[in-house]
Structure 1
């Protein structure tokens, strides 16, 4: 079995969305001929999920090295966040590069795979690969210069130089979206850029009946952290306006927001909506899936701007549950087309403002008539199985190693 070094700053028992993609790759790579060996950072964990490693082979080797600045006082870390390029985690290289080189030599590793953000992980992986003469595959869960928040990063000119260096020198680039693939194509040969979206793992979902509920309201659930890239503002404003126009809706709708306490601040301008909202603190991953399964409708918020777009990872878990999805997004794009293809969806755009209120009214009306749940094409959903996506990754690895050995295409 061929061996691959997996470099990820975040890894279980740390919880949260950042670990799911790499965790599933690690879980299923052995099925396709690759033994993963994980190198991750030792740092204070804010979200702990004791169940995250269930289902992963017991023989998986996980190595951790300390990210020393992560243990420094908060004020120092704030300065680092504003000054360090590409990000405050770049000093993990002090321990990670040396350990990575040792692991490559000890285990006869043939490839290094790194996933970001933080993008400093790509620089660390690149140095390990160059110093051991192996190939580097860079996986971008979020784009670098193509990200909506790129302008907030320190020294953007240097950021662009580092991104170009990774793109030029890596053996392959993996992205989540076709639009991201096109963006990266301005920096390297598009033939070595591949799209592998996020997905779902059927084994994560409970087999029992999660539909039994004591209430008879239309429960709209969101799991995750609100941000400028996943802002509920347009939805909250539209729901508030809808309730003002028809007060009976207040008695019909129940919001459930699962995530950090900071989510509550987004409701400050809408005191009436707080009265119909159940705020649930951060939950382990599988518990979050159970809460999704108990919903009548799943909420999805995203921001897109020109060719800068993201598809929230939870989208594919929504698809697996085959629940109605209410998507609110700035404008038509890759995400809205994907959700439209899913078909069991209500899609509202931020302009005109009636677009969202109209979708909310339609949803409530169809829910009252028992017609809000539409049929879903299983073939469409099945393409996002994590096993299939890991197989696609393994095929990229195969191609790289075959070319390196002179086997060609």
Structure 2
């Protein structure tokens, strides 16, 4: 008989966007490793996007339970006079705020801790306790952000005795936009205390990169050197099945797929492309941005005279996004600058690599993402101000494409360890570990 895990995730289909992929793929592949998932999620969440096609990945045997939520995000949106979809919950870098928006942001940063999804916690604890009582639940798994989800995991472990694993897709008090929030000192202390409580009480902690493993391990204050385990993101072979990769022949496309926030605005790349255009080195260049594009990015492109060769495509379903990846001459990755940027390993980088096209990135050249690109020979990451290095790299790939010999990306063999199923097996091992008889609280 398989063991059963109760997985709590705020983001789950019909939610779209990057936040949903990790939990969704755990649910899809855990049954292969002896774990039957029961999902607990929100009924009507404040999602950045919707993608109903993702529901096809949910196994028929997986039960999904949804609860209401008192979401401060709704009140915040009404206070500033916007719709839910227009409110940015992350970085505000480069954006101008009205007085009312500043007030609302202060309220959110200081009264809704650890985040604006904390209103889901009482509902998820109430329903989670019922689900544990109704069936044989062997382990609880929470994934964040939102990190308030971990508070529900801590409460459920205390109330039921079922061991709990806390999974961190991003850091908590070290997340990329944390320093932009107008926290008071008491809010900072309370948030840090909540983070320490979660890290100390969880039977196991997982995260997505070696750098962030070390960061979180320092905060657990445990003697166990393996207190935090790396379970990377990855790619799903069902989404990017092997096949002929056909980059566009009518234009050399530099493509970004996903949200391009102001904090990720690759200004060094735009300078490099302008230089190459002015030199006449890339006459058939096309820039394609698929997904949400911040107004600051549009202004930066306009300032460099690149809007005429730029195509902006609104959010598309996941399978269409993959098709755009496979047409690219180069896939653009941008890692924003923040103190823990070396550990940023988004799910997108794995899908980029699996799409079979080379990656050009901007971010920490010595970070975990750069190491992955080197290890797989799938591309290169440059410093954010290295316009000269970027220009040389892009010119080299453009000339190969123009000669009808486009450069390939990472090989299938190099990517094999980064399949979603392989990483889910790692998570299954962690879950089995917290259920072993000799593991203390």
Show the counterpart of 2:90: none
How much does 1:380 deviate? 1.9
Check whether the contact 2:269–2:387 (CA below 8 A) recurs between aligned residues. no
* Other-structure match for 1:365: 399
Q: What's 1:266 paired with?
A: 297
Matched residue, 2:215 = 183
C-alpha RMSD of the superposition: 2.2
| Alpha-carbon distance in 1 for matches of 2:407, 2:280 | 24
SS at match of 2:261: coil
Q: Residue 422 of structure 2 aligns to a residue in which SS?
A: helix
Change (3 A) 1:384 1:336: same
Q: Deviations 1:243-294 (Å, cap 9, x if unpaired)? A: 22x1352x2211111002x445413133321110111010111111111112
Quick check: 1:34–1:394 contact (8 Å CA) kept in 2? Answer: yes
CA distance in 2 between partners of 1:158 and 1:297 (Å): 44
- Alignment CA distance shift 1:304-1:295 (3 Å): same
Q: What's the CA shift for 1:3? A: 1.0
Q: How many residues align?
A: 402
Contact 2:163 2:203 in 1 (8 A): yes
Deviations 1:213-243 (A, max 9, x none): 5x52111111011125533222112212332
Q: From 399, 405, 424, give the equivalent of 1:390.
A: 424
SS of the residue 1:247 aligns to: coil
CA shift at 1:355, angstroms?
2.0
1:118 counterpart (122, 129, 146): 146
How far the C-alpha of 1:307 sits from its partner, in A, is 4.3
- What does 1:231-250 align with in structure 2 at a 5 Å threshold? 231-244=265-278, 246-249=279-282
The aligned residue for residue 16 of structure 2 is 15
Displacement of 1:124 in angstroms is: 1.4
CA shift for structure 1 position 167:
0.7
Q: Determine the C-alpha separation between the residues in 2 that align with 1:308 and 1:376.
A: 23
Partner of 2:204: 172
After TM superposition, give the deviation of residue 212 of structure 1 in Å. 7.7
Residue 308 of structure 1 deviates from its aligned partner by 3.6
- For residue 45 of structure 1, report the CA deviation from its aligned partner: 4.1
**Which sections of structure 1, spanning at least 5 residues, go unmatched?**
none
Equivalent pair of 2:168/2:207 in contact (CA under 8 Å) = yes
Query: Which moves more between the two structures, 320-329 or 12-21?
Result: 320-329
Identify if the C-alpha distance between structure 1 residues 186 and 228 changes in structure 2 by more than 3 Å, giving closer, same or farther: farther
Match of 1:316 in 2: 350
Q: Conserved in 2, the CA contact under 8 Å of 1:344 and 1:373?
A: no
For residues 125-157 of structure 1, the C-alpha deviation after alignment (integer angstroms, 9 at most, x for no partner) is 111111111111000001112322222343222
From the superposition, tell whether residues 46 and 331 of structure 1 become closer, same or farther in structure 2 (CA, over 3 Å): closer
Structure 1, residues 304-350: CA drift from partner, whole Å, max 9, x if none? 54544312211111121221111122443221121122213243222
Write out aligned runs for 1:206-217 (5 A).
Answer: 211=246, 215-217=249-251
Q: C-alpha distance in 2, partners of 1:118/1:288?
A: 25
Q: Is residue 85 of structure 1 aligned with residue 85 of structure 2?
A: no
Task: Tell me the distance in 2 between the aligned counterparts of 1:99 and 1:345.
Answer: 45
Q: 2:87 matched to which residue of 1?
A: none
- Distance in 2 (CA, whole Å) between partners of 1:389 and 1:275 is 41
With over 3 angstroms needed to count, the CA separation of the structure-2 counterparts of 1:274 and 1:377, relative to structure 1, is same
**1:371 offset after TM fit, Å?**
4.5
Contact 1:27 1:57 survives alignment (8 Å): yes
